[in-house]
Amino acid sequence: MQSLHLTAGEEGMLGGRDGDGVALAMRVIVGQARISDAPRLVEITSAHVDSCLYHGQVSLDFAHRLVDLGAKVRVPTTLNVGSTDLLHPELVRDRDLASAGRELMAAYVALGCTPTFTCAPYQLPNRPGLGEHVAWAESNAIVFANSVLGARTDRYGDFLDVCAAITGRAPYAGLQTTEARRGTVVFDCRPLGRFLQSDLAYPLLGHHVGSVVGAGIPVLVGIPADVSEDELKAFGAAAASAGRVALFHAVGVTPEAPAQVDDLPVHEVDLATLREVRRTLSTFSSGELDAVSVGTPHASYAECARLADLVGTGPMLKVPFYLSTGRATRARAVETGVLQALEAAGVTVVVDTCTYVTSIVARAGRVLLDEIA
Amino acid sequence: MIVPARILHHGTASGDLIRLTAPLSFWGGTDDHGRIVDAHHPQCGAVLTGKVLIMESIRGSSSSSSVLAEQIRTRTAPAAIVLARPDPIIPLGALVAHELYGLATPVVVLTQPAYDALPADGMIQVDAGATHATVTWSD
């Protein structure tokens, strides 16, 4: 077991120099650092907190304890989705959950977090750059930050994320370290050819790669250089959900992708493989859909605009259609008229939460068409 | 038999052991009553409350920290947890429950040989202090 070295400043935080709230947060960070065999802590430049999603009374008790002890975040901190839509509370079916969820979201804002309430903080301004150490929670945000932005975050989750924001520190372990960020297995996607121009390719590819590598670090070969961030978002979210992928590299696309991959094992991916993935993910093969849900992870502005074009020119929607997005993206869509076009076509736009974590889908929503889940 | 253990969270507890043959995710895998509800888990239906939970490693979501802390709060959690591989998620839930409610749930890691030597059933005791920890059972 390696011994953990703390700086004088970190010892001071642990000893209560900056108040009891900071000391509590530092006990959590130090405890986790010891378990991870970290030799030291690392200073972070931003945090993304997922603890604002309600998992029971303990969620509220922890946030309120930090507030009562006077804790404040010391780095810019965004918030993940909560358990309710604060702008459209009437959409949420479970009133008790909505009420507890609202209280929890307010507590995290009181700690100094920015009320972004999105699982796609990488769609906001001021995102971290190559080599920056951050503490991000939420598996799709983690994989995007590590892979597409080249920032460094390990897999953080409940309690730890906000403690990192309050102390400005994270354990120097896992994907914070250079040696843990090397690719472990190659996926040669070149046999997919023109199918890689289709946005359907990326969630299917992500699901396949995640299922094969588990917690490994895949290196993709053959991804077109003009692949969009939305496609990489879809790939990463599916890979994180099907496996535990927290970092991938795409040669010629992502900033830390290796130039040489000769020494790694190689899997070829062809159309037959993805066809099979699509078959296993479709639990419903015939009959009528009850609802359609898109925006998990939250839809970007470009995706909202594209959907507005599609539904604005097509026939009337016959089933409930939900789009989840961040409140910042919604505000931009209001300015440009995209939101009005979506709503005129019958799309229900959900913010602050998403249809995946909160019961929003109307009563008959049994057969659901969802882009990733 | 008494074997040394690595401390992930301090505390002292004893109880009937329950050994899981596959990794478990507390989030989605257990309910409010401490019961395993993951239909794909070999021990689905087993109740963990008050037991010494033996499993090689945990699976899945970081939200398991919250779920374990909530079970400790409502007294539906295992009395102690013994693993074969260190894991940050489970002791984080134990640490938060101790900070908030003063309830200390021991979490320890055994070496693989010591883990393999654990009995199939019966009473087992976990003592995890500030500097060293042991797991004890009668042969």
Write out chain A's pLDDT in tens, 373 residues.
Answer: 569 999 999 999 999 999 999 999 999 999 999 999 999 999 999 999 999 999 999 999 999 999 999 999 999 999 999 988 888 888 888 888 889 999 999 999 999 999 999 999 999 999 999 999 999 999 999 999 999 999 999 999 899 999 999 999 999 999 999 999 999 999 999 999 999 999 899 999 999 999 999 889 999 999 999 999 999 999 999 999 888 899 999 999 999 999 888 899 999 999 999 999 999 888 766 778 888 899 999 999 999 999 999 998 878 888 899 999 999 999 999 999 999 999 999 999 999 988 777 776 554 445 666 654 3
CB contact A59 to B (< 8 Å): yes
Residue A125 belongs to domain with CATH number: 3.30.499.10
Any catalytic annotation for residue B25?
no
Tokens of A29: 């960070």
How many Å apart are CA B43 and CA B54, to the nearest integer? 12
One domain, residues A35 and A75: yes
Q: What is the pLDDT of residues B66-106, one digit of tens each?
A: 999 999 999 999 999 999 999 889 999 999 999 999 999 99
Please work out, in degrees rounded to the nearest 5, the angle formed at the alpha carbon of residue A262 by the alpha carbons of A260 and A266: 115
Residue whose C-alpha is closest to residue B86's, from B109, B106, B61? B109
Q: Find the helix or strand (DSSP H, E) in which A273 lies.
A: helix A271-281
| Rounded CA separation B76/B37 (Å) | 14
How far apart CA A275 and CA A285 sit, in angstroms, is 14
Q: What residue type is A150 in one-letter code?
A: G
Report CB contact under 8 Å: A35, B86.
Answer: yes
Residues A44 and A169 both lie in one domain: yes
Query: A276 with A326, same domain?
Result: no
Is A172 in the B-facing interface, judged by CB distances under 8 Å? no
Is B57 within 8 Å of chain A by CB?
no
Which residues form the domain of A307?
291-370
Which of B30, B33, B62 is the best residue to mutate to test the A interface, defined by the most A CB atoms within 10 Å of its own CB?
Answer: B62
- Where do the domains of chain B lie? 2-136
Q: Residue ranges of chain B with pLDDT lower than 50?
A: none
CB-based contact B95 A28, cutoff 8 Å: yes
Shortest Cα–Cα distance, A86 to chain B (Å) = 22
Which of A31, A50, A56 comes nearest B95 by C-beta? Answer: A31
Separation between Cα atoms, residue A249 and residue A146, nearest integer Å: 9
Closest CA to B79 of B121, B45, B108, B37: B108
Is the residue at A1 inside a domain? no
Give the three-state DSSP class for A185: strand
Which residues 186-245 of A are in CB contact (within 8 Å) with B? 244
Same domain, A131 and A225: no
**Do A20 and A138 belong to one domain?**
yes
Phi, psi of B11 (to 5 degrees): 145, 165
Contacts of B106 in chain A (CB under 8 A): none
Residues A258, A343, single domain; the answer is: no
- Give yes or no: residues A21 and A151 share one domain: yes
Q: Is A31 in Cβ contact with B91 (below 8 Å)?
A: yes
Count the neighbouring beta carbons within 10 Å of the beta carbon of residue A32: 25
pLDDT of residue B60: 66
Q: Which residues pair with B19 in a beta bridge?
A: B54
Are B99 and A61 a contacting pair at CB < 8 A? no
Dist CA A262 CA A94 (whole Å): 53
DSSP per-residue codes, A314-357: SPPP-S-EEEEE-HHHHHHHHHHTHHHHHHHTTEEEEESS-TTT
Q: Are residues A340 and A360 in the same domain?
A: yes
Identify the bridge partners of residue B47 per DSSP, sorted by sequence position.
Answer: B35
Q: Do A24 and B99 touch (CB under 8 A)?
A: yes
Q: Which fold has domain B2-136?
A: Glucose Oxidase; domain 1 (3.50.30)
298-317 in chain A: CB under 8 A from chain B: none
Active-site position among B25, B57, B61, B63: B61
Q: Assess whether A295 and A326 both reside in one domain.
A: yes
- How many distinct structural domains can be found in chain A? 3
Chain B interface includes A35 (CB < 8 A): yes
Q: How far is A113 from chain B (nearest CA, A)?
A: 20
The reply to whether A24 and A151 lie within a common domain is yes
Of A156, A179, A202, the last residue of a domain is: A179
CB B96 within 8 A of CB A58: yes
B65, A160: Cβ pair inside 8 Å? yes
Q: pTM of the prediction?
A: 0.93
Task: Identify whether residues A299 and A313 lie together within a single domain.
Answer: yes
Q: Are A169 and A187 in a shared domain?
A: no
